[in-house]
Each structure stands twice: as C-alpha cells, then as structure tokens.
Amino acid sequence: MIRKSISLVALSMLFSSCVSLAPKLDINSDDVVAKSFKNYQIAEDNSNINLNSFLIDENLKTLVNLVLENNKDIKIALLRVEESKSLYRIEESNLYPKIDANGSFSRDKKEEIIKNSYKASVGTVFELDLFGKNRSLNDSAKNNFLATQYALSSTKLSLVSQTINSYLSLATNIENLNLQKKIYENLSSVYELTQKKFAAGVIGKEDVLSSFAMLKESQNEIIAYENQIQIDINSLELLLGSTLSESLIPNNLRKDDSYLALVKSGISSNILLNRPDIKELEYQLRAKNANIGAARAAFFPSIALTANTGYSSSSLNNLFLSPNSFWQISPSINLPIFTAGENSAKLDLSETQKEIALNEYQKGIQTAFKEVNDALMVRKNIYTKLQNQKELTSSIQDAYNIALNSYKIGYGSYLNMLIAQKAYINSQKTLTQTYLEELENRVEIFKTLGGEIE
C-alpha cells in the first residue's frame, strides 16, 4: 500500500505542473528616477550605513535599544509579519496534495447473517493547477509576507529617528532652560540695582517697572521651558512604553560631535531603492501583479483529482493480503460558463490594483530622492550658518556685557542695556537651535538613506 500511496502522490505532482498567467513585471526604477531628477547619477554605494556606527552617545544607544525592545508599534508590526507568514503558509499548502489515512469497521446483519467489514485506505485530494491559479495566489501571499517584513524595518527606522529627535529636543529645551535661569539671575540683580537707583533719584519709575516686567517675563519663559521639557519626556515615554529613567535625561545640549556620526554619502540608486519603505512598495506591487495571474486563471477549467488505495476484507486477519486490495481515481472538472461578469470584474479589479501599486511605487522612489536631496541641501550650508551664528552670538554677548557693566556703574542707559540683553538672549537661543538643526539633519540623512537598524 505504501508503494501505491507514493504513486498517487507522484501522479498528483506530475499533473500539477502549470504555466503562470501572471504578466511579466518590468520594474524600471532607474528610468523613473532619471525622468524626475535632471542631475541624477549613481554614486558610490554605502552599505555601511548602520545604527551601531551612527550612534555615539551611550545614553542615546541605551534609549534606542529600549525603544526597539519595548515599543508597541514594533510589536504590532512583528505580529503582522507573523500573520502574513501564516497566510503565506496556507497558500503554499495548496500547491501540494492533501493525503489522509482512514480505517473503518462495520458490522451488519441481514437475513440472520452477521457480516463484518474491515477497511484501511490512503487517499489524496488535489487540484491540478494547470493554469497557475494556486501558484499565483502563493506568489501573492509570499510577496505580501516580504512586504510586511520591510514594513517592520521601516517602522523601526522611523521610530529610531523619532527617538533620537525627541532626545535632542529634550536636551535643547534643558539647555534653553539653563540659559533662561541664568538670565533670570541677571535680571534679578538688575532689578535690585534699578530699585536702588530709583530710591536715590537717579532714574525714573518707568525704568523700575520695565525691569520688573522683564523679570516676570523671564519667569514665564522658565515655566514654558519646564512644560516643554515634560512634553518631551512624555513623548519619549510613549516611545519607550515605560517611564524614562532619570539617568537617561541629559543635562544640556553638547555642542560637539559626541552624539551622532555624520553619514557622508552621495545619492546612490542602490541605497535608495533598497530603503525599507521602497522595498515594501515593490513587494506590494509584485503581490498585486501575481493576483492578475490568479484572476486570469479563473476563466479556465479547474480539475480536481481524488484518489484512494487500500484494503477491504471481512476478516481483520487477512485484511492486508493482496486479493483484498483496491484503488480508485475520481477526476472532476469545473468549467465556468456563466458568472454574470464576476470573473471579468475580478480581473479588472486586480489590474487596477496593480496600476495603483505601480504608481505608488514610482511615487515612493521620487519621494525618496526628494527627501535625500532636501537633506543634502541643508547639509551643504549648515556649517556656514552655524559658524556665522557663533560669531554673531559672540559679538552680541560682548555688546551685552559692555552695556550691562556700563549700566551698573552709572554710565550706560537702561534702554541700551535692555536692547542688548534681548539681542543676547535671542542670539543664544538661535545658536542652540542651529546646533539642534545640524544634529537633526544628521538624523534625516541617516533616515532618508535607509540606515540599517539591525
């Protein structure tokens, strides 16, 4: 019986060879890019853009690893991968025969005669995939599975970028809070000095009121930064899915290269076309293309094969003797004659869905190149902007110190000191913001080039 079972399986597999009716998919990515960007050229491939070499700061490394381990969006994406994998396995199983083993016993009485019947058999049921319907559905499920894997990578890349930017925003607001507290201390001493000058009749009441207003304005700025810091912490805790440890909270924004490495790269088609979001769109397109093959196959007959072999006897003792063996093959055919346009509509739907996926893929490529071009454009001028702001801040700080000292010794006017102070505060905040922009640009380049997380 084992030989017969193997023969049934072999027979089923022989008839399962098929021709796919899915159209050939020609993805000309370079043509899409070349038509969209006049100065497009392939640059040197940078396969070493990975998270481990990008992160330098130890707190950032710890924070990012915690997010990758605990973030709910990542867990959801992982479950979707498992879901898609199961669907793929289900479709793949339809490519192979289903084999069952059965055993039965019956006891009948007729005209005072009792008769026993023993039966043991192995059977297979298999659809002969002559026109590739099951193969196309399997290809679609496989490509959807691969798409969800890239969706997971894309989710990780996005969340890593959010985490780094939230951390840098927190450090920036702490830096601004520290600055505002120093300004408040200076304003307090100026207010005390102003009161003394007013008491001595050196200045008028309006200077005292202006100094008091500046003091209260500074207090409100402190409150605003404290609120913003808490908002940043809340954002990080949402990403973490837990409370942010105090040991991971920065003291300030360091103005150096100790946070992130600088990714040096031109625009490489190999890099951008392998971005996880682009690969996700590509495999979604491949899945939709495979669905066309399944829709086309629905117009053709489907043939199913049922085969059984085994033994049947009235005695259990001689059940497996050769004279008691049997076999049976039962082919069946289903020919679609009238479906009220259902098959045509399904084919039209699958072709439309493929065109949608194709345009989404092409748009994704164009968006990727735009994002990289934008990030590199900012990078091109960021150091000039940063250097200019450093020199401007240094000059304004000197002017403020001169105006403040002159006012304290009675030579300078309160108005000049006030103007210089405002300019100094704004310049310091702008300098800090420029440092933040430079770091955020590093993150953007890493993200837009599809930096590897694992």
> What's the CA gap between 168 and 254, in Å, rounded?
10
Q: What are phi and psi of 87, to 5 degrees?
A: -65, -40
Asked if residue 371 belongs to a domain, the reply is: yes
Question: Does residue 124 form part of some domain?
Answer: no
Q: What pLDDT, on the 0 to 100 scale, is given for residue 442?
A: 95
Classify residue 269: in a domain, yes or no: yes
Q: Is 145 in contact with 85 (CB distance < 8 Å)?
A: yes
3-class DSSP state of 424: helix
Instruction: Give the sign of the dihedral formed by CA 422, CA 427, CA 429, CA 430.
Output: positive
Q: b vs e for 258-276, b when ≥16 Cβ sit within 10 Å of the residue's Cβ?
A: ebbeebebebbbebbbbbb
147 belongs to a structural domain: yes
Please state, as a whole number, how many other Cβ atoms lie within 10 Å of the Cβ of residue 32.
19
Provide the pLDDT for residue 42: 46
Residue with tokens 């003091």: 215
pLDDT at res. 33: 62
3-state secondary structure (DSSP) of residue 50: strand
62-70 long-range contacts (CB < 8 A, ≥24 apart) are 62/248, 63/163, 63/167, 63/236, 63/240, 63/248, 64/160, 64/163, 64/164, 66/240, 66/242, 67/159, 67/160, 67/163, 67/239, 67/240, 68/156, 68/159, 68/160, 68/453, 70/240, 70/241, 70/242
Q: Tell me if 129 sits within 8 A of 15, measured CB to CB.
A: no
Residue type, 43: A
How many separate domains does the chain show? 1
pLDDT of amino acid 25? 81
- Residues in a beta bridge with 107: 116
pLDDT of residue 319: 53
- Over its length of 454 residues, how does the chain's per-residue pLDDT go in tens digits? 445 444 544 554 554 555 678 888 877 666 666 565 555 554 455 555 789 999 999 999 999 999 999 999 999 999 999 999 999 898 888 888 888 888 776 777 666 677 777 677 777 777 877 888 888 889 999 999 999 999 999 999 999 999 999 999 999 999 999 999 999 998 899 899 889 988 988 888 988 998 899 999 999 999 999 999 999 999 999 999 999 999 999 999 998 889 999 887 555 667 788 899 999 999 999 999 998 988 888 888 887 878 777 666 555 555 555 565 667 777 778 878 877 888 889 899 999 999 999 999 999 998 998 998 899 899 989 999 999 999 999 999 999 999 989 988 888 888 888 889 889 999 999 999 999 999 999 999 999 989 888 7
Let me know if residue 69 belongs to a domain.
yes
How far apart, in Å, are the Cα atoms of 225 and each of 174, 218, 306, 344?
7, 11, 75, 62
Neighbouring C-alpha atoms within 13 Å toward the C-beta of 284 = 20
Q: How deeply is 129 buried, as exposed, middle or buried, from its count of CB atoms within 10 A (0-12, 13-18, 19+)? A: buried
- Strands annotated E in 268-418: 302-313, 325-334
Q: Residue 20: what pLDDT?
A: 75
- Domain containing 80 equals 20-96+131-299+341-448
**Residues in contact with 92: Cβ distance below 8 Å, sequence separation at least 6, in sequence order:** 138, 141, 142
Classify residue 159: in a domain, yes or no.
Answer: yes
Write down the pLDDT at residue 310: 65
Report d(CA 320, CA 326) in Å as an integer.
11
CA distance 370 to 379: 14
The pTM (predicted TM-score) of the whole model is 0.84
Does a structural domain hold residue 110? no
In the Cβ-directed half-sphere of 293, how many Cα atoms lie within 13 Å?
26
Amino acid at 453: I
Q: What is the DSSP string of 96-135?
A: S-EEEEEEEEEEEEETTEEEEEEEEEEEEEEEE-TT-HHH
Q: How many residues does the chain have?
A: 454
CA distances from 388 to 257, 420, 422 (A): 18, 19, 19
* One-character DSSP codes across 211-276: HHHHHHHHHHHHHHHHHHHHHHHHHHHHHHTSPPPGGGS-SS---SSSSB--------HHHHHTSH
Nearest Cα neighbor of 164 from 442, 380, 371 is: 442
- Cα–Cα nearest to 249, from 400, 418, 57: 57
* Residue the block writes with tokens 């304003």: 187
What pLDDT score was predicted for residue 125? 79
**Which CATH number is 32's domain given?**
1.20.1600.10
Contacts of 400 (CB under 8 A, 6+ apart): 417, 420, 421, 423, 424
Amino acid at 280: E
Asked, for residue 103, whether it belongs to a domain, the answer is: no
